Amino acid sequence: MGSRYYTYAATAIWAAEAALGQGIEVWVLDRPNPLGGCRVEGNLPSAGLESFVSAFKTPVCHGLTLGELVRLEAQRRGWDDAGLRVVKLEGWRRDMRWAETGLAWIAPSPNMPTAETAEVYPGACLVEATTLSEGRGTTRPFQLIGAPGLDPRALLAALGQTAVPGVDLLPAYFRPQFQKHAGARCGGLAVVVRDARVFAPYRLGVTLLAAVRAVAPEVFAWRQEPYEFVADIPAIDLLTGGTACRTAIDAGGDAAEWVATWAADEAAFRIERDAFLLYRAGAGE
């Protein structure tokens, strides 16, 4: 799904590594990145926080196809990649959004039903690390975010409609049918992407968590249960790749200083990834 913590990529790369180590040929049939190939957003994870949702040292939005990510990791891990073949896409450009591909969306998992879901996922997935509902149990997972007792209009006032460009945040009430707050009426927001080319989903996710913590601390808490097979590190640290986000929000801040540090990580990653790109913007393959 174009994000660091979508676990299918980790599974694919670990499987490829194991197969190549046994002399088994590996073919990667490449697919478009649903977020396009130009968006790079977020911090690089800190050492020691590797997990199923942070398996690679990339920003949260890495802008790579699976084939490109495999090529990058093959170099990093020192694979003998003589048996590795990436079958390239035809006609795809880095600057293409999913709608421009003309391909039908086939849900890769039950909670990724539409391409619009994929657009908000890199930020809305952070809600999994809290007691808030990320909309699982509704028809719009990751596009609906809230909790019982949360006032949508108070949250909107704290956020401001211009907090993150390219998105409309609408007051909403919803009732999940399963998972968090099943059967309960949740107040919160509907996230509607207006301009995907300027929308920064990870930034929105961080901004949203800070706003909920400020407006309704009585309904906000970090997840305490194990997350993706890890029990001794908070889920939010696994997802964000460090402690800075949690620390800033717990201190009542908006994490803006931490967000400002992303630029250096993004720039460094763009330089590293360039040698492994198979597609260029504005030129069909």
Q: How far is it, in rounded angstroms, from Cα 252 to Cα 268? A: 30
**The two structure tokens encoding residue 261:** 């540090």
**DSSP summary character for residue 11:** H
230 Cβ partners below 8 Å, 6+ apart? 51, 52, 238
pLDDT beyond 50 at 285: no
> 3-state class of 231 per DSSP?
coil
> 3-state class of 206 per DSSP?
helix
Q: Give me the pLDDT at residue 36, please.
A: 95
Q: Give me the pLDDT at residue 80, please.
A: 87
Q: How far is it, in rounded angstroms, from Cα 214 to Cα 126? A: 17
pLDDT beyond 50 at 116: yes
pLDDT, averaged across the chain: 94
Q: How far is it, in rounded angstroms, from Cα 64 to Cα 72? A: 10
Burial 235-253 (b: 16+ CB within 10 A, else e): bbbbbbbbbbbbebbeeee
pLDDT beyond 60 at 161: no
Q: Comparing C-alpha atoms, which of 165, 159, 156, 284 is closest to residue 210?
A: 159
Q: Give me the pLDDT at residue 284, please.
A: 39
Q: Give me the pLDDT at residue 94, please.
A: 95
Q: How far is it, in rounded angstroms, from Cα 92 to Cα 38? A: 12
In the sheet with 167-174, reading across from the earlier edge strand, the strands are 144-147, 186-193, 167-174
Q: Give me the pLDDT at residue 33, please.
A: 96
- Residue 24 banded pLDDT, cuts 50, 70, 90: very high
Q: How far is it, in rounded angstroms, from Cα 143 to Cα 149? A: 19
Q: Say how many C-beta atoms besides its own lie within 10 A of residue 46's C-beta.
A: 15
pLDDT beyond 70 at 164: yes
Q: Are 203 and 123 in contact (CB under 8 A)?
A: yes
Q: Catalogue all structural domains in the chain, each as residue range(s) with its CATH number.
A: 7-276 (3.90.1150.140)
pLDDT tens for 202-244 read: 999 999 999 999 999 999 999 999 999 999 999 999 999 999 9
Mean pLDDT of 1-29: 94
**The two structure tokens encoding residue 119:** 């657009």
**The two structure tokens encoding residue 223:** 């997840």
